[in-house]
Amino acid sequence: MIKPHQSKQKKYKLAAKTLAPLLLLTSTCQYLQAKEPTNNIQVEALATQVEADVIKWRRHFHQHPELSNREFETAKTIATYLKSLGLEVKTGIAKTGVVAILDSGKPGPVVALRADIDGLPVTENVNLPFASTVKSTYNGQSVGVMHACGHDTHIAMLMGAAKILTSMKDKLHGKVKFIFQPAEEGAPEGETGGAEVMVKEGVLSAPNVDVIFGLHISSGKEVGTVHYRSGGIMAAVDPFKIVVKGKQSHGAYPWNSVDPIVTSAQIIMGLQTIVSREVELIDSAAVVTIGMIHGGTRSNIIPNEVELVGTIRTLNPEIRKHIHQSVHNKATSIAKSMNAQAVVTLPLDYSYPITFNNEKLMAEMLPVLQATAGVTNTQVTNPVTGAEDFSFFQEKVPGLYLFVGGRAKDMPASKAPDHHTPEFQIDESGMKLGVKLLTNLTLDYMSNHH
């Protein structure tokens, strides 16, 4: 077990058990107070009016996807529309990002809303009249391009929210910053991109952002539902590489070698005990996976070295720190015990923090989710070991990341297509709720913090 963290975990569990009924009562009371917010009826009507546009925008972006750091036409379309709303628009942020500011002219907080805009190197296999037939080059390979994770819907929903909030400018206090982020799926080899670069370039300043909201459509969750979680909702991701260095010899005379292949096998098995024997999994999940092994040139030659490449996924900052140290300790110690050497590079090339929903903000905004989607349609979700670079924004300012249902009501959950696959698809009726959520979260936060 992770001894230094154990006492903290026990205290956390005790506090959680003690406070859970109070938190539930508090959120219920807050919901009753916010059941019919002043703007709810107006937002509902405006969301209904803009829904056809949202669907039209989504279909355009779906038919014309662009890869990470290559979203040039996507950015132009977004910027042109935002300028038509009279917003202050900046382009070229983190290469292809677009940021627009809506200034109410009144004092108040700065609320940021974010959508990711890039597609994936996936060839679409869905029979839609607006299916993508785009081809491009990704890391030197010819690939099909598809919005196989729903970023097209994210763009359209945020554009819809921008239209509504602009029309309700008299209700606002402060400023809204609309962030259309490139390269969420990761920049091509040799490049940087995404939320981390946007933050470094100052997207959360001038004006300084007080809070940020983002959402992700889910092909597996039913339309009309919103799914939330306080604390870690998506995992940190840390790729790593271990180079095991030995001594080459003829395969017929292994006693003359220091075998990096056998050593690597022992290291791989040792790494599996980190999660199974050192992490208290009832608190939060963790994953240590080796995905690539490179070593050797012939069947009868024991090579000088072997390269292992893997990924770590964690949902708890203390567990993340522990696993990083344990990977290093196990790899180097096992190698030493076999007269080899292990060189660990962690993180390897990129690293995403935990997508962490600020607990205080989540408690404050839960009644807004319930008032917008309905209590039964507002559901706590389990955390997932997938990662999201929205986490870079949340490292700097309090933020919430939510999942919105995109599965048709008549489709069994077992038949829902996975994200990042050629068969990925969503029910467009789910986008209206996303538009309303982005709008109501902004209005409510401004109303309570000006």
What pLDDT does residue 349 have? 84
Kindly state the percentage of the chain with pLDDT values over 70.
92
What pLDDT does residue 37 have? 57
Residue where the block lists tokens 């597609």: 119
What pLDDT does residue 261 have? 98
Asked if pLDDT for residue 19 goes beyond 90, the answer is no
Residue where the block lists tokens 């994936």: 120
Q: Which residue has the higher pLDDT, 35 or 450?
A: 450
Asked if pLDDT for residue 320 goes beyond 60, the answer is yes
Mean pLDDT of 419-427: 98
What pLDDT does residue 1 have? 38
CA gyration radius, the chain: 24
Mean pLDDT of 132-151: 97
| 138 among known catalytic residues | no
Encoded tokens for 217: 């459509």
Average pLDDT, the chain: 92
What digits encode the pLDDT tens for the residues 265-296? Answer: 999 999 999 999 999 988 789 999 999 999 99
What pLDDT does residue 68 have? 98
What pLDDT does residue 253 have? 98
Domains of the chain are 35-234+354-449 (3.40.630.10), 236-345 (3.30.70.360)
Please calculate the CA angle 206-211-214 and round it to the nearest 5 degrees: 110
Asked if pLDDT for residue 12 goes beyond 60, the answer is no
Of residues 14, 174, 200, the one with CA closest to residue 110: 174
Q: pLDDT grade, residue 2 (50/70/90)?
A: very low
What digits encode the pLDDT tens for the residues 148-199? Answer: 999 999 999 999 999 999 999 999 999 999 999 999 999 998 999 999 999 9
Mean pLDDT of 220-235: 97
What pLDDT does residue 24 have? 43
What pLDDT does residue 22 have? 46
| 428 among known catalytic residues | yes
Asked if pLDDT for residue 9 goes beyond 80, the answer is no
Asked if pLDDT for residue 54 goes beyond 70, the answer is yes
List the catalytic residue out of 71, 222, 364, 428.
Answer: 428
What pLDDT does residue 409 have? 95
In whole angstroms, what is the distance from residue 213 CA to residue 173 CA? 17
Residue where the block lists tokens 């230094």: 4
Exposure on the CB side of residue 28, measured as CA atoms within 13 A: 7
pTM recorded for the entire structure: 0.88
What digits encode the pLDDT tens for the residues 321-368? Answer: 999 999 999 999 999 999 999 999 999 988 999 999 999 999 999 999
Q: What are phi and psi of 263, to 5 degrees?
A: -60, -45
Residue 304 CB burial class (10 angstroms; 0-12, 13-18, ≥19)? middle
What pLDDT does residue 7 have? 41
DSSP characters for 304-340?
Answer: SEEEEEEEEEESSHHHHHHHHHHHHHHHHHHHHHTT-
List the catalytic residue out of 81, 228, 352, 445.
Answer: 352
Q: How far is CA 247 from CA 203, 244, 254, 255, 297, in A?
A: 50, 10, 10, 10, 14
In sequence order, the 6+-apart residues with CB closer than 8 A to the CB of 292 are: 307, 308, 309, 310
Mean pLDDT of 385-401: 97
Of residues 151, 133, 100, 84, the one with CA closest to residue 419: 151
Asked if pLDDT for residue 28 goes beyond 70, the answer is no
